[in-house]
Structure 1
């Protein structure tokens, strides 16, 4: 069961733009001398799975707190489903799984989840929520007897206790092992397929690369990149070139660094790893230099390398 936002009607034969779920307009939030969120403009639309990335202190958690009405902006506005965040939560339109805040102790998992289902305006049956979260086997265990990964799955159950249209997750797979993380994202893919909008902050960049259809990168409170994972990688403006060299003659790394497009270079034995902004020009120059690469591979940067390149460029520009 899910409740999907209906897109507005458009011109016959045209695909209507998905409905707006959330909007930040010139939002600023400061703590003393620290500007945690700095003029943030952002729109989320129905049906998106969005990853929110950024180094520690980038403003991710503050942005989520503002979205959920846990904090108010110093300036600008936040709208959620065309209303205030607190009204949207009261209407059961949003489910959230946050890092902050503990779970009730001295109660069983089933009791806690049943309470969440009962208070949700459109709550699901408790057994359905337990099964979806993969915690049926620990339903009769007290909450304070759970491992860190089990606590995360209980938090997820509380976030999905009813038919919310937006699910907000702050570092959802922290403390989960690899198999639990894989199972969790399998469940989230099913939530997205049911029409929900998913927004999650994570430090596991491989999760963003494999799960998200849109990636937001924050740095020092500002949004510095917004696009698909492929867009973010392309924005880094570099590709990776890897190959093996003949043992003789041994190349001069300093000379290789002067090749066109090269921004970084590592030589380990006979294996050369190059980062280049113009892979075609770099490879052509390698051949012109009399080097004959074996097992040549030219690939895009992974999301992690692209993220580091984008945030590093932003930091050096300050």
Structure 2
């Protein structure tokens, strides 16, 4: 069962096209990371899912219905990039106020504990640090006991400890079967936490799969070293899918068979310095998918 469905969805703002025929389904109970560079259309897509705007074309369905319906929106939780809470309210007062907007909210104290806000529960919202304000935004997103939780750049401004507490809270919510969709620029967090990763750019879907599947698209491993080999020799090594060589002899190779590649280098007696072997990361896959195409005149430096 899909909790969210966007079908041939388009959204324009005057002459600006934010989404172009987007087809995206989010399965119920899944934690999905929605990735893309600034201006990719992520925030626009989330605003449509929340019923804050209507698509220019196509359909948007959340929990099987139009998200602009009040009964659907009552089952959603939202943590936007920026949120405003009356600064004179204490943290506990703000959470209590928002709880009253929903028919079956979580308990206020349970919400404060989940968001790691117990120590500052009586502090005024206007006196919170940046990270504490983000944790309060998270508390306000979950206090309504949502079935679907949409989170936009959740850990921006959080320190390391707050990030750990946030992801622990997300794991607890995920264990109860809630559907969670989040955007983040911290790709290592998405790689660690997400069941599924969706990559967008320029309002279009570029990739959709597990973190492991997207890493595989980027090449199984990255082999870097310094040597006297020239680019043509690097490209002839077994299993090399791409090779980049700078003016200082630093080679950066992509391969799905690093053992065969290194075995050949050792067999040839190649002197290697600063050897480093690492598997392709989600960040590698993201950069590969969203990198602008090089002009033909520049294609001689890589393959």
TM, length-normalised to structure 1: 0.84
Rounded Cα–Cα distance in structure 1 between residues aligned with 2:228 and 2:39: 42
1:143-182 paired onto structure 2 within 5 Å: 143-182=125-164
* Aligned twin of 1:125: 107
Q: Shift in Å at residue 309 of structure 1?
A: 0.8
Deviation per CA, 1:257-293, whole angstroms, max 9, x where unpaired?
A: 4334252345799985422366466445434544266
Aligned match of 1:93: 75
Match of 2:176 among 180, 194, 218: 194
For structure 1, list consecutive stretches of 5 or more residues without a partner in the other structure. Answer: 1-18
SS of residue paired to 1:233: helix
CA–CA separation in structure 1 for the residues paired with 2:128 and 2:82: 17
RMSD: 2.6
What CA distance in whole angstroms lies between the structure 2 residues aligned with 1:236 and 1:167?
30
Counterpart check, 1:286 vs 2:265 = yes
Q: Which residue of the other structure, out of 290, 293, 303, is the alignment partner of 1:311?
A: 290
Report matched runs for 1:1-318 at 5 Å.
19-87=1-69, 90=72, 92-237=74-219, 239-242=221-224, 251-260=228-237, 261-265=240-244, 273-276=252-255, 279=258, 282-283=261-262, 285-287=264-266, 289-291=268-270, 298-312=277-291, 315=293
TM-score (norm 2): 0.87
5+ residue gaps, structure 2: 296-303
- Give how far 1:82 is off: 0.9
Alpha-carbon deviation of 1:174?
0.6
Compare 271-280 and 134-143 and name the one that shifted more: 271-280
Tell me by how many angstroms 1:112 deviates. Answer: 0.8
- Cα pair distance change 1:220/1:32, threshold 3 Å: same
Equivalent residues, number? 293
Mapped to 1, the partners of 2:4 and 2:205 lie a distance apart of 15
